[in-house]
Amino acid sequence: MTTPPPRPTFRFAPSPNGALHLGHAYSALMNQRLAAEVRGRLLLRIEDLDRTRCKREYEQAILDDLNWLGLVFDGPPRRQSEHGQDYARALACLSARGLVYPCFCSRARIAATAGRARDPDGAPLYSGLCRALEARDIAARLAAGERAALRLDASRALAEAPADLCWREYGEGAREAPHRADPAAWGDFVLRGKDNAASYHLAVVVDDALQGVSDVVRGRDLLAATSAHRLLQALLGLAAPRYRHHRLVLDAKGAKMSKSASSPPLRALRAAGYSALEVRAALGFAAPNESRLTVSFS
């Protein structure tokens, strides 16, 4: 008897560091639609590794918003804060191969030494100041109580990775278009921060693999990050999901909606008397004549 193929698996993965807005709703509903079209699973992941900014009250507000929108998930949410051992194992694997080194640099020092070099997110590109530290110096600084982030040695990592690293990109369509990865653009990116169990890049790769995610559906603002993710997947021997980077919802000023810009949260729309059906319709997930809202995209 042959084993049936695994069901396609999608995930929505918000961070509980603020309220959900229309951009989050679009991504969640897009995941729901695509999962339903292929009779796949839809998982919820709570990306709460930032212990300073992530709060349980935000998580509950997220759950309330998703329930209001009519999202139903398969099983309980996976909270990253409960799975530090999974990230530690991945870090140990990379470290054993000499691909990881500690970095003691402050943000100010990184910015001062980066010059005009920037990573795809626009942050100062790390210049590798700590890459050549000797083992005895590292041990002494750690013994003195200095905290260190852990970074990927990009040059060594790229030497081990396939030269033709790419991923399967669908955008919002049905056709696959191979997309060449450019992980070098990220330099020696962080794998574990000074205060967190893992960086976003490492945690999302490990989580997707452990949860059996076959299809990653997220905004175009994360397109460049996929290069870093594909590099880690290749180094850790993990399967690469299919990727769909969708358009972004814009605010009234034409800028991408974001928590940092204090974009109007879903709860404000609810308080103003808008229904979940109106939100779904404005975002293209119900008949457009059902909504008083107007939404624009980029």
Write the DSSP symbol of residue 16: S
Tokens matching residue 187: 């330099």
pLDDT in tens, 117-155: 999 999 999 999 999 999 999 999 999 999 999 999 999
> What value does the mean pLDDT take over residues 2-10?
82
Residue 4 falls inside a structural domain: no
Residue 1 falls inside a structural domain: no
Residue 88 falls inside a structural domain: yes
Give me the pLDDT at residue 255, please: 82
Residue 3 falls inside a structural domain: no
Return the SS3 of 285. coil
> What value does the mean pLDDT take over residues 2-19?
90
Residue 147 falls inside a structural domain: yes
Average pLDDT of the chain? 94
pLDDT in tens, 151-194: 999 999 999 999 999 999 999 999 999 999 999 999 999 999 99
User: Which CATH number goes with the domain that contains 78?
Assistant: 3.40.50.620
**According to DSSP H, which parts of the chain are helical?**
22-37, 56-69, 84-96, 107-114, 135-143, 154-160, 200-210, 225-236, 266-271, 276-282
For residue 76, give the H/E element and its range: none
Q: Which residues 6+ apart lie within 8 Å of 266 measured at CB? A: 19, 20, 21, 22, 24, 25, 65, 68, 69, 279
Residue 2 falls inside a structural domain: no
Phi, psi dihedral angles at 230 (to 5 degrees): -65, -35
- Domain interval for residue 148: 9-297
C-alpha neighbours within 13 Å on the C-beta side of residue 13: 24
> What value does the mean pLDDT take over residues 20-46?
97
Residue 236 falls inside a structural domain: yes
Give the pLDDT band (50/70/90) at residue 261. Answer: low
- The pLDDT > 70 percentage for the chain reads 97
How many domains is the chain partitioned into structurally?
Answer: 1
Tokens matching residue 88: 């530690």
Q: Is the pLDDT of residue 1 over 60?
A: no
Q: How far is CA 17 from CA 61, 234, 259, in A?
A: 10, 30, 8
Q: How far is CA 162 from CA 28, 50, 119, 157, 165, in A?
A: 33, 32, 22, 10, 5
